[in-house]
Amino acid sequence: MDLLIKNGTIVTPKDTFKADIGVKDGKIVAIASNITEKAQEVVDASGKYVMPGGIDAHTHMEMPFMGTTTVDDFEYGTIAAAFGGVTTILDFAIQPKDKTFLETISLWRGKADPKVVVDYGIHVAVTNLTEDLVKEIPKVLEAGVSSFKLFMPYRKEGLMSDDGRIYRMLEESRRLGFLVQLHAENNSVLELLIERYVSLGKLSAEYHAKSRPNFVEGEAVHRGLALAAAAGGNLYIVHMSTKEGVAELSRMKKLYSNLYGETCPHYLILTDEKYLSPKGRRYIMSPPLRGKADNEALWEGLANGTLSTVATDHCTFTDAQKDLGKDNFTKVPNGVPGTETMIPILYSEGVSKNRISLNKLVEVVSYNPAKLFGLYPRKGTLNVGSDADIVVFDPDFEMELSQENLHSRIDYSIYEGVKVKGMPIHVFVRGKPVVYNREFVGKKGTGKFVPRGKYQPLN
């Protein structure tokens, strides 16, 4: 054996039990109560949890957006991911309007392959759907990309798809077995409200949230789900932020299958009060931060299974980049960091505060994304035959989150001063340590592109 992790407590979506894990050639080869076979490296995980690596199914590395580019490239972004116990990221390749989906994937792989330190997959973010591109989808699935994001908003930024195009993709998702991801906000209403606030000279960060009130998401979630139900398609609503959205998803899930929702750590623990601070623009992302009642509805949605995943929308802009909109919220590049802090926050704010169980944590960051995005059983689980993507998690490790002890290139943290207890201490990708004793021991370019299979429904 190459690696033996002994005496840990293994956590899966269903069980928590003491066992050793043996690894050879990057795969898990044994899980048993007392493995005695010799191994090149032995890790003692007494008093620690041993969990499948996290899958951050929503990142934006090196993404050109709103006149600038996210500062975390595939190297820094995946180093940050690894420190947070994330062993696979799924990044959005944004389709340049004149490029095919396959060309878009090559473009993104060209950026990622030389730099990634953890494994990665790609979703295509569709910006210009044509019938010729619909015909290309079977080849895209063969290339290992089985999810496509469409945006209801961002008309001015050139990302928006209209309802007809969304419906068309949903039809194809049913026929071909892929997943449509939807950014659900009502574009014309938020544009009207933005114009109203701008004309009144109300340009500070708080008006970002005021121009995208809860119903802007709630209505769009309803519309997206209704279109999916009509088309019989497979729909996953990304970064859900409101109690209205969760209520609508819950209602529709009882009527139709193949409907899912994702939320992000910032929607679970931060509120829109952040926009009132002098650095309010750091918190500008879309959809915006909401109120306490929304935080609680999202936790509840995770606990009761309405929401299936947590991912981060990791989309990093420095203070200097955020300052592009110093005097005007409409010019602030939208996005916040998150991949390094996702699992620690879910553990400290979710598991330790009895909002979700530890098994649920593993379900929403590993197992469910692996199924939905066609990575299961290669990833998202600790099973014999699976990739040895393994996190050794110390529930007693205390840390105060701060830009200084996090690894993104960003020059601030949106969680500055938040105390967490429970951190990943060793992180293995296909059996190789990438973080060991909270030191980076990985190597640029050693992560791999993971071709994904078709969407697998959750029960």
* Least CB distance to Zn ion at residue 58 (A): 6
Whichever of 143 and 264 has its CB closer to ligand DUC, that residue is 264
Placement of tokens 């044509």 in the chain: 130
* Least CB distance to Zn ion at residue 298 (A): 16
* Least CB distance to ligand DUC at residue 313 (A): 6
Residue 244 partner contact from ligand DUC, Zn ion, none using kind-dependent CB cut-offs of 5 to 8 Å: none
Residue 173 partner contact from ligand DUC, Zn ion, none using kind-dependent CB cut-offs of 5 to 8 Å: none
Query: Which residues of this protein are in contact with ligand DUC, per CB under 6 A?
Result: 60, 183, 285-286, 313, 315, 334-335
Half-sphere exposure of 59 (CA within 13 A, CB side): 35
Whichever of 123 and 360 has its CB closer to Zn ion, that residue is 123
Whichever of 91 and 363 has its CB closer to Zn ion, that residue is 91
* Least CB distance to Zn ion at residue 177 (A): 23
Whichever of 152 and 302 has its CB closer to ligand DUC, that residue is 152
* Least CB distance to ligand DUC at residue 348 (A): 24
What's the rounded Cα separation, in Å, for the pair 135 and 236? 22
* Least CB distance to Zn ion at residue 406 (A): 20
Residue 334 partner contact from ligand DUC, Zn ion, none using kind-dependent CB cut-offs of 5 to 8 Å: ligand DUC
Question: Buried b / exposed e across 22-47, counting CB within 10 Å, b at 16+?
Answer: bbbebbbbebeeebeeebeeebebee
Whichever of 68 and 352 has its CB closer to ligand DUC, that residue is 68
Whichever of 313 and 363 has its CB closer to Zn ion, that residue is 313
Question: Buried b / exposed e across 288-315, counting CB within 10 Å, b at 16+?
Answer: bbbeeebbebbbbbbbeebbbbbbbbbb
Point out the residue whose Cβ comes nearest to ligand DUC.
285
Sheet with 86-94: strands ordered across:
54-59, 86-94, 119-125, 147-151, 179-183, 235-237, 259-263, 309-310
Query: Which residues of this protein are in contact with Zn ion, per CB under 5 A?
Result: 183, 313
Q: Which of 122, 55, 75, 51 shows the shortest CA–CA distance to 311? A: 55
CA 317 to chain centre: 17
CA 265 to chain centre: 9
Residue 285 partner contact from ligand DUC, Zn ion, none using kind-dependent CB cut-offs of 5 to 8 Å: ligand DUC
Residue 95 partner contact from ligand DUC, Zn ion, none using kind-dependent CB cut-offs of 5 to 8 Å: none
The Cα-based distances of 366 to 73, 150, 152, 199, 258 in angstroms read: 23, 23, 27, 45, 19
